[in-house]
Structures are given as structure tokens and as C-alpha cells.
Amino acid sequence: MAATAHDTSPKAAADESSPLLEGQESFPVPPSEEKLRPSKEAPPPITPVVAANGWTAEGLPMPLGYTERSSWDSGIFACLGRNDEFCSSDLEVCLLGSVAPCVLYGSNVERLRSSPGTFANHCLTYSGLYLIGNSIFGGNCLAPYFSYTSRTAIRRQFNLEGTFEAFNRSCGCCGCDSVLQNDIHREQCETACDVLTHVFCHPCALCQEGREVRRRLPHPGFRAQPVLVMIPPGEQTMGRSA
């Protein structure tokens, strides 16, 4: 009896190795056919990578872009300042805030912007609003709506904790957490608190801002570069020896 030739094509090998055909010998599948078959093994679980800048006190990762804000160097009611190397400067700030708030406000903005004419422009504008408010309304009720922007600029430039955030941290209001997580809503609340701080505690707010900028920024007059003056040597003559 003649031996029957087996078909060695991939299709025939797959048919002969089918489990539905009993009593058939299983033939190995070519490597090219094995690569085309989908893998039945489940893919390994993907471990999420949490990108964080640090960790909070509760053990939760801080989201990207979040930087912890620092507190003010002195409280808003610490008008006399602290007993350190800036003690005399704090007393000067307290005196200016009580007698000449226009000068203190102009000095604060001058240290922040350091541009020519900053002190005169802001000091004169504040003085005009101060005189109008006192003559019409009997009090300094217009200048605070003009000067609150300096508090907002100081808070943003030095990444300081605002009044709203400090109140939420001290009182632990759970309903304010959603507002603090949204940067836009938080900044709106902090700006509103800056306005209220200047309206109701205007002299104390100016003094606190003055103490803060004097500890962090030098006076613009001290930033001038030294000028090197070169003096040419005097005229030299050659004397004849006798």
C-alpha cells in the first residue's frame, strides 16, 4: 500500500491540529503563523505614575504647579515691627503710615517697580484721592480702592499667603477647599480680601506691606552700579641732568 503524502501547507497543519478532530496527530505551527495569532495572556496592570512636587501633611501628593505659599513676615497689627536689624525701619514705617500714608504708599510701590517717576506718580495720585475723600466724605475712603493693588502685587511677587487662605487654614472651613483648589476662584477671593483689608484696616495694611518690601527688596537708589573713573596720569617731563 502506497504511503499517502501529507500536505505540509500552514492551512492543512492548522486543520489537522484542530481539537475537534479526534484521533489526529498535532503538527507544530510554523513560526510565521504563531506570530499572527493574538496573545491570550492578559496584559500586565499599568501602575499610574503620580507626578508630584512634594507631599502634604496628610500623605497626599501635591499636583504639578502647586507651590506652598509662605506667610507674611509680620502680622497686620504688628505696627511697631520686630526687635531685629530692621527695628528702626519698622518705626519709620509706623510713623509714615500714621502721619503721611501717601509717602509710605509711594515708597512701597517704588521698591516694587523701580522705574523712574514711580514714587511721584503714586504719591501724588494717592494725595489727591486722600484730599477729595476727606473734603467730600469726611474720611480717607477713596485712596484704599487705589492702593490695594500694591498688596496684591506683593502677594503675587513673593508668593505670600492671602487673607482668604489664612482664614481657611485657621478656621478649617471645609466648604472653601474647592475654591482654594481652583486658582482663578482663589485669586478672585484673595483680591476681594485685599480690597476689604485696605478699606477697613488701611493704615495697618500699608505698614505691613512697608515692612515686607523693606525686608525683601533694597531701595532702588542702592542698586546703582559704581562708576569707574579713570584719571589720566599728569604730564611728564624729562629733566636734563647737570
Report the pLDDT value the prediction gives residue 48, as an integer from 0 to 100. Answer: 41
Digit-coded pLDDT (tens) for 134-178: 999 999 999 999 999 999 999 999 999 888 888 877 776 656 767
Could you tell me the residue ranges of all domains in the chain?
A: 87-219
17-26, 40-49, 87-96 — most confident range: 87-96
Arithmetic mean of pLDDT, 59-83: 71
pLDDT classification of 227: cutoffs 50, 70, 90: low
Burial of 117 (C-beta count, 10 Å sphere; 0-12/13-18/19+):
exposed
Query: What does 76-127 look like in DSSP terms, one character per residue?
Result: TT-TT--SSTTHHHHHHHHHHHHH-HHHHHHHHHHHHH--TTHHHHHHHHHH
pLDDT classification of 200: cutoffs 50, 70, 90: very high
Cα–Cα distance, 140 to 142 (Å, whole number):
6
Longest dimension (CA), the chain: 144
The torsion angles phi and psi of 103, rounded to 5 degrees, stand at -70, -40
Q: Residue 51 pLDDT more than 50?
A: no
